[in-house]
Structure 1
């Protein structure tokens, strides 16, 4: 038996989610669903009208990933997402992990959608239209690679809320009229009038153009040629490139300088010695090497080095802290400073075998504020934690611990996506964004900062109890 699941061009995610909820509630396997079609040449039944008896709860992480992947242009996106949902329900591995082939493909698709939305926000060029209302009116034509008009239009509604506009694409048209955003079917490319302000912009662009910094491959990577024809400034580039060498020579003549003796061989050795990180690591060692060159956020600019996790690659228990401290930053290893010593003492008191543990942090670079000769710890913000979640996900995927212990609020947020206060959650197990169990506890640094000796002793004992419970759960036979 097979089921045809037609999906609309607008409101696709809501329609897919409702259909997937009904299908999984009836335990319909992925190979019996024909997503986005009507059954073709063969008879296919529609999905049942009402949900079945089986219920499933998914994490916020899955919904967030699905809501991004659903806008990809690949026809198989609906089937891949349902395969992941089916595996989650069947407890078949970790289909959302970067180390899983399905999870890796879904994350790459989500990344492609995010990049396409970014390019839409960057490369849409409006031209003004005649208007018979007090509000100015604009229109634009754009050719996205994916179905990103619907998720990308909210940006323009927020930024240009005081004017009327239309963005037409080959798949969908967005209209913003009198403060209301609506979507319509695709149409032919509109005949847009010339904009008087484009000549001013072209003059400015030509004057700031620096031919010495031109990298055509980088330009084509960030701004593919398909967008050039719709951007007024790109019409100037061919002529400016023809004159580029002469302009560079004029710049050299105007400010010539002589390199220091020996600088060429030194810089050559430095470039040759710098390893190139792989985009998608296939092993824990490759992930560590790639993390050493991480530039996902600004913390790498001040920190001494990336502090990767350490311990047993086949650990049953992963312990995740907030971020490296001053001593960890200098040593390049996690939990070697005062908080680390407190953690190791608590592990010994709880009889946790270090040979079965992997120690790491939610954020891999030391964030601090200079104060004299001291580097004072600063907690990472939400964006920094989310940027570093990529590396934490790789560690979880390659090590696959049976249980993860989150120390402190930052680690708890990185692993669960839940930023609610830690006090009421401490000592409890939650399901993480990686669909694995996460036990929450205090960070040793928090315990060391408590001014009241009685409160400090109580919190230390709670950490020991949590460590004992976490290790027992991780070592339990499944």
Structure 2
């Protein structure tokens, strides 16, 4: 057995050098034991054998090195062995790094994503507190990372707080910046960091003044920001009250619009749309181009709810303008419905997709993403107050009913909603585009048009 010893847990360059030498020497992955510092060797492991590479170099795709740089910071003890196994494979099959179905590559990518998320959390949730020392003010922060990301994050804090004298204390390692030089020290304890400082009250006042409820969803916050970070951030104590107050104001604004429809309803819709443009209630906003809000008359008797924006909708910022939208418009016209007189929106306001080369392929929203967007759908319904709401597809039906339903079980008849409106369910027009058999596609299209005619007749009866 060959023992590859690395100086510290997150030393990518040391792993890279050791892995290169082992690979050049032809050492298989199963013959290598990876160890950190002076930790005890494996019971059956020998000392590192001298390797004499037959050749001096080889190349691997750049994406693999980027992946490895992140994975090395993970806490999984198998990470070095997994990376070395992958290194040997991509050396012989460079295209493997693009195969997202490969189990080992997927495992490594998940590990890299967890590391990147931890890096983001450190940047977002770390808070410095001021203390007075012999050389004047110094700022100290305590943070408890999940992975070995402190050194990887050092440059960010040096650049962001270059003029400050600061220390970042963590259980495993500490960083100290004096304005010119960055030093590394041993780990610390929570008690070594200060509890608070006079600046915090000023910060809380500022935070309350710039708080935007569209950027926060409590469930998402609790998931993204574990409780151990809350005690280090003075503003977190304010969040529940701020959210409750802001949502109460939005609800009151929508309710007031019911008293006088005209300008009040339009102003309320404009304000709601502006809030939605800044929405970060679920992670989909990170990759989408923009929020795609609903559109149509604020007093429309008929509302259509689709699934989510597609590629073209994401770029245009409008719902139902792509191929499915064109199919929808054609069917609407045949059914005697004027799109200019209906309100059209989506259950999810951001485009969810998978990148395949240069193409962005639609991915189905999950239950959490649908639930995160129900706030916007409910406010749209409160403002528009349609007589009939049509859910296009299973995702839209889940949003409208608040639970999963089967289209075949609910299609073709009215379902009363708590606000007095009726809900109808049919297919999403994108389903028609996926049918390969021409005869089957034509039959399903005729059935879709029939559904829309039934809806049109019902709306006429209710208005």
Give the TM-score category using the shorter length: 0.5 to 0.7
Distance 1:246 1:49, change over 3 A: closer
Measure, in 1, the Cα distance between the counterparts of 2:99 and 2:359.
7
Match of 1:73 in 2: 75
CA-CA distance at 1:48 after TM superposition:
2.1
Match of 1:43 in 2: 45
Distance 1:6 1:203, change over 3 A: same
Match of 2:298 in 1: none
| Residue number among 356, 359, 368 corresponding to 1:391 in the alignment | 356
Where structure 2 has 5 or more consecutive residues not aligned to the other structure, the ranges are 266-283, 294-308, 325-351, 362-463
Deviations 1:215-244 (A, max 9, x none): 321111222222112111223456x38xx7
Match of 2:84 in 1: 82
Alignment length (residue pairs): 290
CA contact (8 A) 1:125 1:230 kept: yes
Measure, in 2, the Cα distance between the counterparts of 1:389 and 1:50.
44
Kindly indicate whether structure 1 or structure 2 has the higher relative contact order, using CA contacts under 8 Å at least 6 residues apart.
1
Measure, in 2, the Cα distance between the counterparts of 1:99 and 1:215.
32
Match of 2:413 in 1: none
Measure, in 2, the Cα distance between the counterparts of 1:330 and 1:199.
50
Match of 1:4 in 2: 3
CA contact (8 A) 1:98 1:393 kept: no
- Aligned-pair Cα RMSD in Å: 4.1
CA-CA distance at 1:297 after TM superposition:
4.4
Measure, in 2, the Cα distance between the counterparts of 1:388 and 1:209.
29
Higher helix share: 2
Match of 1:103 in 2: 105
Counterpart of 1:174 in 2: which secondary structure?
strand
Match of 1:296 in 2: 287
- Correspondence 1:74-223 to 2 at 5 A: 74-91=76-93, 94-95=96-97, 97-133=99-135, 136-189=137-190, 190-206=192-208, 215-223=217-225
Match of 1:63 in 2: 65
Match of 2:458 in 1: none
Where structure 1 has 5 or more consecutive residues not aligned to the other structure, the ranges are 264-292, 308-322, 333-386, 397-478
CA contact (8 A) 1:3 1:39 kept: no
CA-CA distance at 1:247 after TM superposition:
7.8
CA-CA distance at 1:47 after TM superposition:
4.1
CA-CA distance at 1:6 after TM superposition:
2.1
- Correspondence 1:221-240 to 2 at 5 A: 221-237=223-239, 240=241
Counterpart of 2:200 in 1: which secondary structure?
helix
CA contact (8 A) 2:64 2:97 kept: no
CA contact (8 A) 2:3 2:47 kept: yes
Counterpart of 1:256 in 2: which secondary structure?
helix
Measure, in 2, the Cα distance between the counterparts of 1:102 and 1:246.
47
Distance 1:202 1:182, change over 3 A: same
CA contact (8 A) 1:129 1:138 kept: yes
Counterpart of 2:256 in 1: which secondary structure?
coil
Deviations 1:356-411 (A, max 9, x none): xxxxxxxxxxxxxxxxxxxxxxxxxxxxxxx9994328999xxxxxxxxxxxxxxx
Match of 2:18 in 1: 19
Deviations 1:115-160 (A, max 9, x none): 11111111110011213336x4211000111111011111110111
